[in-house]
Chain A
Amino acid sequence: MYALQTAERIRVSVRCAIASCTVTHANALTIAALRKQPTVIASEPMSASFLKHSEEQTVVAIETVRAAIGQFTEPQPEFRDWGIVAAANFFGRIQIARSMTAYPTDGAWGVSPHLIPHQSLHAISGTLSQSLKAYGPNFGVGGGPNSVRDALLLAASLLADSSLPGLWLILMGYESERIPSADANVTPTPNCCGIAMALRPTIDATYGPELRLGEAANDDAIRWLAEPQLDAIAEAVAQRQSTRWRVGGRIVAELDFAGDLEAR
Chain B
Amino acid sequence: MLFDIGRVCMKISGREAGKTCVIVDKKNNFLIIDGNVKRRACNPKHLEPLDIVLKIKKGATTSEVKSAMKKEKLEVKDKKKKEKKKLEKPVKKRKTKKSGVNKKEEKSTQKKTSKKSTRKNDKKTTKPKK
Is A bound to B?
Answer: no
